[in-house]
Structure 1
């Protein structure tokens, strides 16, 4: 085991044992050098590792403290689609969320991780709709939502406009575009946050994003059988968890 791994493991153990309490600073670099009889570089690598794991966080004007773990909010694993006066929504726990700023709409090559879901080839373009969602009263950002729509279907239609009208893109797909009653399927994953996601969600260093990816399938018209949208929502994985009941078979 590399020396910095040993130091990281010792510090991790001290945090777990409560020797260093949440919110408290850990010893300074020179103190840790003396304690572990090692170099400043080794100490910094160990601290960087624990910061990446979300156990430590830098303190403005110097030092490092043990990160306080926030109480998690549960998201029910909901397999139903609902509707209210604003249109479709996919979990009762997110019904209260509202757009905190106007959506941005661009046309770009499809990201590699979405290609297979949309049945596209590398270089194919998509319409990308980005939304920042949260609590309209506090202004706190709770969710980032991005929709990817095949450009061959969406470009030049209302789906490529910032304001898609009452009911949003799903009402336009089912009604004006005649794509039938839509169907959906979803998957849940996690990944490291991008720098932009970290800023918007105010993520602590090392905290990943919880991703819910939903595919929208058309059942009629020119797009019948195609995945006409992939929607990826991201949340602070340190603040949210997915909860579901377990039944006997």
Structure 2
């Protein structure tokens, strides 16, 4: 017997896709409210005169789109819509958020404890002291260097003191600019990275870009994200020398359903209450 998930009641359109469209429309039109439980599979199967596997496939599609959350043993719920917090970009001062001298509580954050045990050989959950790492292909292209050339890598997880939302902040710096040879004196202290880069390669300027991608690796656990259907917001600030060469890159990775990035200007001013983090 053919599975009705593959049947086509109207010119080749799979039944589960039609049911997905019906449910999506009900959700987006407010027929169900955020956090509300969806009727059970059996009830939906009766409503749409189909089988439970067909309903299950439609629900999986909507969960992948970020509209539903499936809680095994409890049911299927409309994903709550948390208020988005704003990351303000593009305006000075451009501070080194990972400097040991920087206090995150100035912006209402604190450095967070890990949500998972580090894997064997993994960098500690936060490393404000630089960790020297070879550049992968993406970083090599960004910095205009060869793959394998070393960068100074720092990172930390921050947690918002009021909302408990989490972000990851990371920094890559050209190692040759902040590390001396072993017989040639001491390395530049991380607290002095920005001042040193401005001194030896300045005047420096900054550009900021924003993109999104789906999370991979441990990002879902590290940032306490919904496990399915939530994109990652990536805000990247790049320090450049007068010739346009990249000296340092700071990135904020944040759950895309909880954060947005905005450029404050005279036409769209943002109050301190609206801004959760400045980059």
Q: Deviations over 1:24-53 (max 9, x none)?
A: 111222332333333444322321221122
User: 1:70–1:118: structure 2 CA closer, same or farther, 3 Å change rule?
Assistant: same
Aligned pair count reads 232
**Alignment correspondent of 1:133:** 158
**Alignment correspondent of 1:207:** 230
Q: 2:220 & 2:260 partners in 1: Cα distance?
A: 18
Given that residues 75 and 240 in structure 1 are in contact (C-alpha distance below 8 angstroms), is that contact kept between their aligned partners in structure 2? yes
Q: 1:69 & 1:180 partners in 2: Cα distance?
A: 44
User: 1:232–1:37: structure 2 CA closer, same or farther, 3 Å change rule?
Assistant: same
Given that residues 145 and 231 in structure 1 are in contact (C-alpha distance below 8 angstroms), is that contact kept between their aligned partners in structure 2? yes
Instruction: State the Cα distance separating 1:56 from its structure 2 match.
Output: 0.6
User: 1:127–1:45: structure 2 CA closer, same or farther, 3 Å change rule?
Assistant: farther
Instruction: State the Cα distance separating 1:87 from its structure 2 match.
Output: 6.5
User: 1:226–1:2: structure 2 CA closer, same or farther, 3 Å change rule?
Assistant: same
**Alignment correspondent of 2:23:** 11
Q: 1:156 & 1:145 partners in 2: Cα distance?
A: 25
User: 1:106–1:3: structure 2 CA closer, same or farther, 3 Å change rule?
Assistant: farther
**Alignment correspondent of 1:173:** 197
Corresponding position: 1:189 with 2:211: yes
**Alignment correspondent of 1:118:** 143
- Which residue of 219, 236, 254 corresponds with 1:235? 254
SS of the counterpart of 2:47?
helix
The TM-score, its normalising length taken from structure 2, stands at 0.68
User: 1:78–1:150: structure 2 CA closer, same or farther, 3 Å change rule?
Assistant: closer
Unpaired segments ≥5 residues, structure 2 = 1-12, 114-125, 268-279
Instruction: State the Cα distance separating 1:152 from its structure 2 match.
Output: 4.6
Given that residues 29 and 40 in structure 1 are in contact (C-alpha distance below 8 angstroms), is that contact kept between their aligned partners in structure 2? yes
- Which residue of 73, 76, 91 corresponds with 2:85? 73
Q: Deviations over 1:151-201 (max 9, x none)?
A: 4545668xxx9x945x453134345xx333432211111111224222122
User: More relative contact order in 1 or in 2 (CA 8 Å, sep 6+)?
Assistant: 2
Q: 1:142 & 1:173 partners in 2: Cα distance?
A: 29
Q: 2:57 & 2:244 partners in 1: Cα distance?
A: 51
User: 1:141–1:172: structure 2 CA closer, same or farther, 3 Å change rule?
Assistant: farther
**Alignment correspondent of 2:55:** 43
Given that residues 87 and 168 in structure 1 are in contact (C-alpha distance below 8 angstroms), is that contact kept between their aligned partners in structure 2? no
Larger Rg: 2
**Alignment correspondent of 1:32:** 44
Corresponding position: 1:149 with 2:173: yes
